[in-house]
Amino acid sequence: MSLLVNPPSSNNFIHAQNIAQSLLGMPAARFAELSYFQKNSIDILWNNWQATPAEILSALDTNAGALFDFHAALTLFIAQLAATNGVDYTPALPPLAYTRHEDGRVTLVE
């Protein structure tokens, strides 16, 4: 076998290396997307110039609880990923106190 002629499998190895590099980049990209979503969703609800948090919560009605539950689980998941991988992460948190009611509504504590 000559070293000057590529064996047929060399292209497959190059493809495999490219695929491996792509796969290795995916976790960081998804972490960045999840982090952005976590922080942006807080901003949309609590710092919206088109409606107050109370108005948005009222419009969400009984869906607010499910949204808050999802967001809490996402925040915990991101924090666990960050801790496991040695990444500094500060989640966005609601700036106001709220109450989650059994029927799913969320209201601000006054």
Closest CA to 35 of 86, 79, 96, 66: 79
- Whether the CB-CB separation of 78 and 91 falls below 8 Å is answered with yes
Has residue 18 been placed in a domain? no
Has residue 63 been placed in a domain? yes
Residue for token digits 């607010």?
64
- Whether the CB-CB separation of 57 and 108 falls below 8 Å is answered with yes
Has residue 37 been placed in a domain? yes
The model's pLDDT over 55-84, given as tens digits with 9 standing for 90+, comes to 999 999 999 999 999 999 999 999 999 999
The model's pLDDT over 28-57, given as tens digits with 9 standing for 90+, comes to 889 999 999 999 999 999 999 999 999 999
Has residue 6 been placed in a domain? no
| Number of domains comprising the chain | 1
Residue for token digits 């979503």?
37
Range of lowest pLDDT (14-28, 46-60, 96-110): 14-28
pLDDT > 90: percent of the chain: 70
